[in-house]
Structure 1
Amino acid sequence: MEIRDRVVVVTGGGGGIGGALCRRFAADGAKHVVVSDIDPRAAETVATEIGGTAVATDVTVESDVARLVRGTLEAHGRIDIYCSNESWDVHVMAHVYAARALLPGMLARGEGYLVGTISAAALLNHILAAPYAVTKAAGLSFFEWMAITYYDQGIRVSVVCPQGVRTAMLAQEGKRNFLTRGALDPQQVAEAVANGMHDERFLILPHAAVGEFFQRKASDYDRWLRGMRRLRGRILEEG
């Protein structure tokens, strides 16, 4: 799908990957970008920069997500692209709430694009954070289900699965060098997303190595598990 002349909504758009996506979509000629974030000041800063609209939204509250979708439809008549881009502690249900609000209108028009910012942890686990790994995997599975179910009705679906990205979340990781090594800037992730959407690829991997690791996992699961156990041991030893 081409970005030009599309109405785009980005949640978590006040910074990090979400902010980079907003800027990229605006640069690519989107008709309008709605910058949604739980932090109204952050959303307003990005929206002012790109000529978009800021909407304060708590995506953990379904009525807030419904209000975001309803308000955008009232103002612009449609939502072509919705990027469900959430912080580390907000996972599965934010995507579900978005789908509930968006799909009826998209299906009626026979067109729409749903993009979920997930994580490489959905494919490769996270050896130090069980809740993160499990909920990211659940999010990936939900987007897979939508891609299977609604493709023939004109709905396109992509998931973005990066490893480390230089955001506030990564800064909190401190000494966990397995995440910071090879980390990308949010702008690099946004570029990968734009390219992936152009090709309508389901799985967008800003870090090419993730695809290689995923193939190794699929080809020999037990060997992959042994390797992950060794990696976990090294990380714990390093402190």
Structure 2
Amino acid sequence: MTITGLDGRSVIVTGAGSGIGRATALAFAAEGARVLVADLNPGGAAAVVAEIEAAGGTAVSVTGDLSDQAVVDRVTATAVERFGGVDVLVNNAGIMDRMSAVAEVSDAEWERVIRVNLTAPFLLARAVLPHMLAAGRGAIVNTASEASLRGSAAGAAYTASKHGVAGLTKSLAVMYRDKGIRTNAVAPGGTKTAITLDIEAGAHGPAALAAYMGNVGRAAEAEEQAAAIVFLASDAASNINGVILPVDNGWAAV
């Protein structure tokens, strides 16, 4: 068994087809965990499963929109059927907004960002909790954001969604700490991923935020975020619960 205690554990990682999610899935597999790779992109998910299996690990993929309850049910059922339960849930999947200020946010932008970034983690946590409660243990790690700590790191919809993720994390931590289940979150700062921004030219939101972006500092590698996620899920963090951990090269301290 590895020092993290993750060897043989059943782990769900969402948004695992690329970026932070991919790095996280590979990191868990390297610790001996069995990984369910959940992603919207079938090709990306399959490629990560192939990487894990090529290295001697165990993985399976489930694809679909995680804001859909039916997809959430399929993810959970597959992990239980293939791996015997769910020991760790990593709610990493998310989307950016258009950096829009409140007066510029459309209903469609607001509802989609909230649905993917906040409602999907809630649905997944609700789905896996019965299995963790039955086992008497479990760890949930959510991907919050620097935008969960301040109002100057993203648009209104994304900022609200990630503040919600921080609140969901703390609520889960309090509600289930006496049941052997820990919930924490990482708050990534700038990170090198394939995410691109769709910003409307001349919009007020991006212009207002530009003055604050000079404090970002060095962008993290996806593997640096993954290392923090794996730590929070591991036995090494057995008394850490309800924490929103900035992984941001000190941006939150500025």
Normalized against structure 1, the TM-score is what?
0.81
- Alignment gaps of 5+ in structure 1: 214-239
The question of whether the paired residues in 2 share the 8 Å contact of 1:14 and 1:46 is answered with: yes
| Equivalent residue number for residue 228 of structure 2 | 192
Q: Residue type of the partner of 1:172?
A: L
Q: Residue type of the partner of 2:132?
A: M
| Equivalent residue number for residue 44 of structure 2 | 42
Residue 204 in structure 1 maps to residue 229 in structure 2 = no
Q: Residue type of the partner of 1:2?
A: G
Q: Distance in 2 between matches of 1:134 and 1:115?
A: 19
| Equivalent residue number for residue 68 of structure 1 | 75
> For residues 148-177 of structure 1, what are the alpha-carbon distances to aligned partners after superposition, in whole Å with 9 as ceiling and x for unaligned?
1101101011101011111122x4379965
- The 1:209–1:80 alpha-carbon spacing in structure 2 relative to 1, beyond 3 Å, is same
Q: Distance in 2 between matches of 1:122 and 1:38?
A: 24
- The 1:26–1:179 alpha-carbon spacing in structure 2 relative to 1, beyond 3 Å, is farther
The question of whether the paired residues in 1 share the 8 Å contact of 2:45 and 2:62 is answered with: yes
Structure 1 residue 128: Cα displacement: 4.8
* Secondary structure of residue in 2 paired with 1:102: helix
Residue 92 in structure 1 maps to residue 118 in structure 2 = yes
Normalized against structure 2, the TM-score is what?
0.77
Q: Residue type of the partner of 2:218?
A: G
Higher relative contact order (CA 8 A, sep 6+): 2
> For residues 33-92 of structure 1, what are the alpha-carbon distances to aligned partners after superposition, in whole Å with 9 as ceiling and x for unaligned?
111101011000001110211111211101110111012111211111111111224211
Q: Percent identity?
A: 31
Q: Distance in 2 between matches of 1:127 and 1:195?
A: 25
- Alignment gaps of 5+ in structure 2: 54-58, 96-112, 200-205
Q: Distance in 2 between matches of 1:99 and 1:128?
A: 25
Residue 183 in structure 1 maps to residue 219 in structure 2 = yes
Q: How does 1:130-145 map to 2 (within 5 A)?
A: 130-145=156-171
CA RMSD, Structure 1 to Structure 2 (Å): 2.1
Q: Distance in 1 between matches of 2:137 and 2:154?
A: 39
| Equivalent residue number for residue 151 of structure 1 | 177
* Secondary structure of residue in 1 paired with 2:220: coil
> For residues 174-209 of structure 1, what are the alpha-carbon distances to aligned partners after superposition, in whole Å with 9 as ceiling and x for unaligned?
996548642111011111222333324333222251
* Secondary structure of residue in 1 paired with 2:67: coil
